[in-house]
């Protein structure tokens, strides 16, 4: 059974729209909440709707009677999932470590090692939250739908391209945007290949993806200080800096 393209196209936007609508009353019920907090609540509702509706969609559209196994979330009893998760996190560390060292050696960053408890919790929340949500969405549901419609080889490339396009690569100017788009596409391919290497389990990709997001957050929010002149395509647009203490008095 093949999904219809319009169903694949509309499924996630409808869930996000419902989450956005469900969070709007918070502006009246909790007037002290900032707009970004209300939006975050909407995202949480959307994720909950995704978790509730995915099994039904897989059963109705994919004719799949074991949806969580097909998506790579289960089984958990064997313990293979946490081994895959740790391997993915270690790979993220092996990627971020040399990048951090390179930035320090080139004078584009300096080590601070000052990370508070709140930042550690934020990094952990990003690791588990963003890693799980995006991998379930892209390497779980989307890749599976595209395989049914396009076949394995084209689906592998298509999911990586869609993953890259839906991230804010366009915020960088000129060639920096294209470089970031290419890097995100390569990351999407690597995450899919990680799941394939783990025998279909999603947890290795979750560890790798979440480790990169949470680890980079931790680095930028206390472990290192990034120079305002560091290339945005490498460190990301709007990277936090503490320019007042940077040698030479550089301004953000």
| Domain endpoint, select from 36, 65, 94 | 65
Answer whether residue 187 is part of any domain.
yes
Closest of 137, 145, 135 to residue 88, by C-alpha: 135
Please give the Cα distance from 155 to 137 (Å, whole number).
14
Amino acid 240: pLDDT:
54
Amino acid 251: pLDDT:
35
Amino acid 51: pLDDT:
96
Question: Is the same domain home to 45 and 104?
Answer: no
Tally of domains within the chain: 2
Please give the Cα distance from 221 to 114 (Å, whole number).
8
Per the CB < 8 A criterion, the answer to whether 211 and 91 are in contact is yes
Question: Is the same domain home to 106 and 32?
Answer: no
Please give the Cα distance from 91 to 208 (Å, whole number).
6
Question: Is the same domain home to 59 and 171?
Answer: no
Amino acid 77: pLDDT:
80
Question: Is the same domain home to 127 and 179?
Answer: yes
Question: Is the same domain home to 189 and 93?
Answer: yes
User: Residues of the chain whose pLDDT is less than 70?
Assistant: 1, 236-252
Amino acid 236: pLDDT:
67
Print the domain residue range for 24.
1-65
Amino acid 238: pLDDT:
54
Amino acid 171: pLDDT:
87
Question: Is the same domain home to 33 and 112?
Answer: no
Question: Is the same domain home to 101 and 224?
Answer: yes
């Amino acid at each position: 059974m093949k999904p219809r393209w319009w169903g694949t196209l509309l499924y996630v936007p409808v869930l996000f729209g419902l989450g956005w609508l469900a969070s709007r009353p918070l502006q009246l019920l909790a007037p002290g909440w900032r707009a970004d907090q209300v939006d975050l609540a909407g995202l949480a509702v959307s994720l909950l709707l995704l978790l509730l509706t995915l099994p039904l969609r897989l059963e109705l559209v994919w004719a799949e009677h074991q949806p969580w196994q097909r998506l790579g979330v289960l089984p958990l009893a064997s313990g293979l999932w946490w081994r895959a998760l740790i391997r993915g996190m270690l790979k993220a560390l092996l990627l971020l470590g040399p990048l951090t060292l390179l930035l320090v050696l080139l004078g584009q960053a300096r080590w601070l090692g000052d990370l508070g408890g709140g930042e550690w919790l934020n990094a952990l929340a990003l690791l588990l939250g963003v890693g799980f949500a995006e991998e379930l969405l892209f390497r779980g549901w989307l890749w599976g739908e595209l395989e049914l419609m396009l076949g394995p080889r084209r689906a592998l490339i298509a999911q990586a391209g869609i993953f890259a396009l839906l991230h804010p690569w366009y915020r960088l100017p000129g060639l920096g945007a294209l470089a970031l788009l290419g890097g995100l596409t390569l990351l999407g391919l690597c995450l899919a290949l990680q799941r394939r290497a783990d025998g279909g389990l999603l947890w290795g990709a979750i560890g790798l993806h979440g480790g990169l997001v949470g680890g980079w957050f931790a680095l930028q929010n206390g472990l290192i200080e990034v120079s305002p002149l560091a290339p945005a395509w490498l460190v990301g647009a709007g990277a936090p800096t503490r320019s007042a203490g940077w040698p030479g008095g550089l301004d953000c």
